[in-house]
Amino acid sequence: MSTRVWIVGVGMTTFGIHHDKTHYDLAHWAIREALADAGASVDDVKVAFYGTTTHGVLEGQHSISGQIALRGMGIQRIPVHNVQNACATGSTALHLAVNNVRSGESDVALAVGVEKMNIGDQQRTLSVFHGGYDRSDLEGLVRDMVLLGGEVEDDDPGHRSIFMDVYAAMARHHMDIYGTTVAQIAEVASKNHDHAADNSRAHYRKPMSVDAVLGARRLSYPLTVPMCAPATDGAAAVVVCNDAGLRRLRARGTVQVLASSIGTGVDRDITAYDDYITSHVAQLAYERAGVGPSDVDVVEVHDATAFAEILQTELLGLFGPGDGGPAAERGDTRIGGRIPVNPSGGLESKGHPIGATGLGQVFELTDQLRGTAGSRQVSGARIALAENGGGFHRGEEAVMSVLILGGA
């Protein structure tokens, strides 16, 4: 019988711009919350996986971010592993923690994700995204974007990461194949801004109508600013344990990790959705969890843009090909709809502190499964799914994580 793994503690800072907080301040905030939630002390943690993608690039602290952060709050002697895996960094830290306690190597493990992205230099902050594609083949990246979305005249590029151009090309491709509309993409963004209005930890908490989303400053067609995730400061942490660890903690409530799957893509026709990385990794997760898409009650997906939510809900099997946009228009993905997606507000509104994003999703889903999400509570939530992708390589994400959780 497979060893059970439990999420027993979650912590998360507010996501936003924290001029008065250091990288380590944010990490300590999230870790202290997670430990308190787990009924654990620093001495209970036997191994830690510390995720960050920008600390080295923006502040020069390469290699040992985790050792410094954890020593600063009294977590000493234990193994500390630094994790970097693009936007899936936090999910990867959790995946490693889950496998560690499942194997019995440790009985209590800590996963942390943290970013301090707003350092007063916007161009430098945007430069961190250049590591998320093959730097040796920039021509190949441009060729793939043109293959997907055609060439677009853009006389007002504005300030944005290159990934907004990538997502825009993917969106145009989807629009050409399935008839997805700009209004449907705006509907997703409006829904997520509405959800975030009641999330006290979200970066943006202002509801937005579809018309307001469509009328906002454009970035790369068909995307406007409210359809895209901001550069965010923040941290999140999760404590996991096996049955042995659970017996010695004073956890308030447990959530079971039913499956955690991570994978990378294969060489394929990038204009087709066959064998897309998300579908492959999701199928592994469904099989391991013993559930299917129809069993899922609540979802957090990696909506770095509103279009990404449409695409990922289709690839996860929650909707059929081309039905993600119409489902958003029908209200299926709103709280109270058939399958609520991003009740937290998603990356567009909750924010996207890269290495913390995947663990921020887990924070939300743990609240949902515990029934403690307040006005954002999804009624009767028992099975939750988180999708968190990172980077871009040959027409799809370079890394994909799908996590399935079960409530009591």
- What is the CB neighbour count within 10 angstroms for residue 178? 18
- 236: nearest Cα among 50, 77, 30: 30
Active-site pick, 55, 87, 241, 393: 87
202 to 19, 280, 365: CA distances (angstroms): 16, 31, 15
Nearest 10 degrees: Cα torsion 263, 264, 267, 273: 70
176 to 223, 322, 397: CA distances (angstroms): 15, 11, 20
Residues in the chain: 408
- 40: nearest Cα among 235, 258, 247: 247
| Beta bridge partner(s), residue 299 | 341, 385
Q: DSSP states of 309-371 as a string?
A: HHHHHHHTTSS-TT-HHHHHHHTTTSTTSSS-B-TT-HHHHH-B-GGGHHHHHHHHHHHHHHT
The number of C-alpha atoms within 13 Å of 22 and in the hemisphere containing its C-beta is: 9
Active-site pick, 23, 203, 302, 352: 352
Cis peptide before 222 (omega within 30 of 0): yes
245/242 Cα distance (integer angstroms): 5
241 is catalytic: no
CB 218 within 8 Å of CB 171: no
- 258: nearest Cα among 335, 365, 378, 332: 365
- 359: nearest Cα among 7, 16, 47: 7
87 is catalytic: yes
CB 283 within 8 Å of CB 150: no
Token pair recorded at residue 148 = 């997907």
Token pair recorded at residue 351 = 């924010």
SS3 220: coil
Token pair recorded at residue 307 = 């279009």
CB 184 within 8 Å of CB 307: no
- Residues with active-site annotation: 87, 352
